[in-house]
């Protein structure tokens, strides 16, 4: 018995009928064709599927699409604004925070959540905050650097005077 769901994903409204057992990650990937969010495991260990649901980083392999109904989802495809990369995306590019890139979307979403909660994390805090996201390529060092880079950028942007409007 299919159920109707409605979600806002990356600012766009979607209405669909889905099976109750459909996972949010499969809804995003297979129904909405937002394939940037990946599936890396089946036990909620790896975090490749991490997305924002109502402002909270969640593992979308552990959320049913019907549970997310009525909510707002942000995926990797929604991190950039008007073509400008999010500072976390910039950081991953700038600091070589990715190799194969498969864990990266989820890792970046987790990093965005971290910086929202803690704009000035220590290295230990970054490593702790990212423990729910596995990477097999980078050894995490450049991911840490990428998050530190993003934190600096975001601090600088906050400190900068607001643009003068005429």
Tell me: does residue 50 bind other proteins (CB under 8 A).
no
Q: Which of 77, 140, 88, 91 is nearest to 116 (CA)?
A: 88
Q: Is 141 in the site for other proteins (CB under 8 A)?
A: yes
Rounded least distance, CB 90 to other proteins, Å: 9
**Least CB distance to other proteins at residue 140 (A):** 4
For 82-126, give the DSSP string.
TTBPPHHHHHHHHTT--SS-SSHHHHHHHHHHHHHH-SS--HHHH
Q: If binding is defined by CB under 8 A, does position 34 make contact with other proteins?
A: yes
CB of 30 to other proteins, least distance (A): 8
Query: Which positions ≥6 away from 118 have C-beta within 8 Å?
Result: 125, 129
Per-residue binding letters, 4-23, with other proteins (x by CB under 8 A): ---------------x-xx-
The DSSP H or E segment spanning 143 is: helix 141-159
Give backbone dihedrals phi and psi of 5, rounded to 5 degrees, phi first: -130, 155
Among 11, 15, 33, 159, binds other proteins (CB under 8 A): 33
- Residue 164, both tokens: 């003068």
Output the smallest distance, CB 68 to other proteins, in A.
17
**Which residues of the shown chain bind other proteins in the complex (CB under 8 A)?**
19, 21-22, 26, 29-30, 33-43, 45-46, 48, 75-77, 79-80, 85, 89, 92-94, 96, 98-105, 108, 123-124, 126-128, 130-131, 133-144
């Amino acid at each position: 018995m299919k159920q109707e769901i409605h979600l806002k994903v990356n600012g766009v409204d979607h209405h669909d009928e889905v099976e109750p057992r459909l996972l949010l990650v499969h809804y995003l990937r297979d129904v909405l064709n937002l394939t940037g969010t990946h599936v890396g495991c089946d036990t909620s260990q790896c975090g490749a599927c991490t997305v924002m649901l109502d402002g909270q980083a969640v593992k979308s392999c552990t959320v049913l699409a019907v549970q997310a109904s009525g909510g707002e989802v942000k995926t990797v495809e929604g991190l950039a604004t008007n073509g400008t990369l999010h500072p976390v995306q910039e950081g991953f590019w700038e600091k070589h925070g990715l190799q194969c890139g498969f864990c990266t979307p989820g890792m970046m979403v987790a990093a965005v959540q971290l910086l929202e909660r803690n704009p000035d994390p220590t290295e230990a805090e970054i490593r702790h905050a990212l423990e729910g996201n596995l990477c097999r390529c980078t050894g995490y060092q450049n991911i840490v650097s990428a998050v530190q880079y993003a934190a600096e950028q975001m601090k600088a942007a906050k400190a900068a005077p607001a643009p003068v409007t005429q």
